[in-house]
């Protein structure tokens, strides 16, 4: 019997899709693979991934939970997304979205845009005044999204350093106890913050949820929503700033075009989101479980089967993007990528993330035109043990 391919696949590069993933994509849209916890169906082609992301027969929760073997980090992530119980996932998730989507309204995002741009300008001024080499991750990629989350939740900016440690600890799959301990710190902090907001409200999401006249939410319920915004609201944006910088450094002609025409920043952001797959690609796979039988081509996915939706591979699919591996700011009417997912769980914070990334990349290489890595790219280390992946350091000079 042929041994199943085992995820994660080795990748000789720190950015991009593993060769074995692309080979499976070439063979067909779906393949059986082995993971650390269970065998699963891996879906790699654009059309099939997009269709399945919108298929309500796939969900985060396992209809046969006794079969599940998750790390503590994965379990916390699923619970935050209301996917820990297959009986209640659909209504709980719908309630979460109903409560949070209005908090990310176009009006609020417009109001935050000027504040975000101010944060970026100040961080770049500090970076430019530093003596190189400087760690771009610590100087820009990390502080900006954490500042934005502080603004959203009404949290003191001085606490942003703790946020980073909590997110990394909570989503660390290598140490279940560390993950549990740091997640408890998040819960304790948010619970205390919600209690304080009841007597000292501000212009922030938590205060709005407390004051919502249509819902009678307990402090624990509001804290749960706050935990989700906190832990999901900045780590992936941090990762994208780092990956986007590396992608632009790899593509000097496109970088020069962006510096000349900052109005292309939104297009650059979409390419960064599409191509930003790091390390072995674990940050670009969305896990799901089938709640009933689903047919994909000639394959039948049975109820209870694990399904890995490879959004990263789908975003590199030549069928959807001719010259898919090219970073191209002038793509003509490209298809929508799936960096933010698709369907019922389409990322609530996608507009905010785009505003942050656009603010960074319309400024970064104009402010620091000679920005370059201070170390060989191959010396950078992608953190495979974290669900979100990412780098801890990007040394640069200018």
**39-53, 62-76, 212-226, 259-273: which has the minimum mean pLDDT?**
62-76
Tell me whether residue 292 is in a domain: yes
Tell me whether residue 46 is in a domain: yes
Distance of CA 283 to the CA centre of its chain: 7
R_g (Cα) of the chain, nearest Å: 21
Contact between 20 and 50 (Cβ < 8 Å): no
Helix (H) or strand (E) holding 199: helix 176-199
d(Cα 314, Cα 8) in Å, to the nearest integer?
16
pLDDT band at 389 (very low <50, low <70, confident <90, very high): very high
Helix (H) or strand (E) holding 383: none
Tell me whether residue 332 is in a domain: yes
Expressed as residue numbers, the domain containing 38 is: 19-387
**What is the arithmetic mean of pLDDT over 77-99?**
95
- pLDDT for res 283: 86
| 294 backbone dihedrals φ, ψ, rounded to 5° | -135, 135
- pLDDT for res 192: 96
C-alpha distances in Å from residue 71, one per residue of 66, 89, 283, 382: 14, 20, 16, 19
- DSSP code for 137: I
Query: Which DSSP string do the residues of 307-355 spell out, in sequence order?
Result: EEE-HHHHHT-TTTSTTTTS--TT-SSPPP--TT--GGG--TTHHHHHH
Tell me whether residue 87 is in a domain: yes
Q: Domain count of the chain?
A: 1
Nearest to 29 by CA among 290, 302, 296: 296
**39-48, 111-120, 154-163, 354-363: which has the minimum mean pLDDT?**
154-163
- pLDDT for res 164: 76
Instruction: Please check the confidence at residue 69 and state whether its pLDDT lies above 80.
Output: no
- pLDDT for res 67: 75
- pLDDT for res 36: 83
Q: What is the largest CA-CA distance in the chain?
A: 65
**Global pTM?**
0.96
User: In terms of DSSP bridges, do strands 306-309 and 39-43 run parallel, antiparallel, or are they unpaired?
Assistant: parallel
Angle, in degrees to the nearest 10, between helices 219-232 and 160-170 = 90
- DSSP code for 262: G
Residue 68 belongs to domain with CATH number: 1.10.630.10
Instruction: Please check the confidence at residue 1 and state whether its pLDDT lies above 70.
Output: no
**156-160, 175-179, 211-215: which has the minimum mean pLDDT?**
211-215
| 36 backbone dihedrals φ, ψ, rounded to 5° | -65, -30
C-alpha distances in Å from residue 120, one per residue of 154, 160, 268: 19, 16, 17
Tell me whether residue 396 is in a domain: no
Tell me whether residue 14 is in a domain: no
**Mean pLDDT, the chain, whole residue set:** 95
Tell me whether residue 7 is in a domain: no
Instruction: Please check the confidence at residue 253 and state whether its pLDDT lies above 70.
Output: yes
Beta-bridge mates of residue 2: none
- pLDDT for res 70: 76
- pLDDT for res 95: 94
Tens of pLDDT, residues 330-347: 999 999 999 999 999 999
Instruction: Please check the confidence at residue 214 and state whether its pLDDT lies above 80.
Output: no
Nearest to 292 by CA among 280, 283, 284, 301: 301
Helix (H) or strand (E) holding 397: strand 395-397
Tell me whether residue 5 is in a domain: no
C-alpha distances in Å from residue 150, one per residue of 63, 65, 114: 36, 35, 15
Tens of pLDDT, residues 134-145: 999 999 999 999
Instruction: Please check the confidence at residue 209 and state whether its pLDDT lies above 80.
Output: yes
């Amino acid at each position: 019997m042929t041994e199943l391919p085992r995820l994660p696949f080795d990748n000789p590069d720190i950015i991009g899709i593993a060769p074995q993933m692309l080979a499976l994509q070439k063979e067909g849209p779906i393949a059986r693979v082995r993971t650390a916890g269970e065998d699963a169906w891996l879906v790699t082609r654009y059309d099939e991934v997009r269709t399945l992301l919108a298929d309500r027969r796939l969900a985060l929760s396992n209809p046969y939970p006794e079969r599940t073997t998750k790390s503590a980090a994965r379990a916390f992530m699923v619970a935050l997304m209301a996917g820990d119980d297959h009986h209640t996932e659909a209504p709980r998730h719908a309630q979460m979205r109903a409560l949070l989507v209005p908090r990310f309204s176009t009006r609020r995002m417009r109001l935050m845009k000027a504040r975000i741009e101010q944060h970026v300008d100040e961080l770049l001024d500090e970076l430019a005044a530093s003596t190189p080499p400087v760690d771009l991750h610590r100087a820009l990629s990390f502080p900006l999204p954490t500042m934005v989350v502080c603004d959203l939740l009404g949290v003191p900016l001085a606490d942003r350093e703790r946020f980073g440690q909590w997110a990394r600890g909570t989503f660390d799959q290598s140490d279940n106890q560390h993950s549990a301990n740091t997640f408890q710190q998040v819960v304790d902090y948010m619970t205390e913050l919600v209690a304080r907001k009841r007597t000292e409200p501000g212009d922030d999401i938590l205060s709005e949820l407390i004051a919502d006249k249509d819902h009678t939410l307990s402090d624990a319920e509001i804290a749960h929503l706050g935990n989700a915004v906190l832990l999901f609201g900045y780590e992936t944006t941090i990762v994208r700033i780092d990956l986007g910088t590396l992608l632009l450094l790899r593509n000097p002609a496109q970088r020069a075009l962006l510096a000349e025409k900052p109005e292309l920043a939104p297009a650059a952001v979409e390419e960064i989101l599409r191509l930003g797959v790091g390390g072995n690609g674990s940050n670009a796979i969305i896990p799901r479980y089938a709640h009933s039988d689903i047919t994909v081509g000639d394959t039948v996915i049975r109820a209870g089967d694990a399904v890995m939706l490879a959004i990263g591979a789908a975003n590199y699919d030549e069928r959807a993007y001719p010259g898919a591996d090219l970073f191209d700011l002038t793509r003509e009417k490209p298809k929508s990528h799936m960096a933010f997912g698709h369907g019922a769980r389409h990322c609530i914070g996608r507009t905010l993330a785009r505003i942050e990334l656009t603010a960074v990349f319309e400024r970064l290489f104009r402010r620091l035109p000679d920005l370059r890595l201070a170390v060989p790219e191959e010396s950078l280390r992608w953190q495979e043990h974290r669900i979100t992946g990412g780098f801890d350091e990007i040394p640069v000079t200018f």
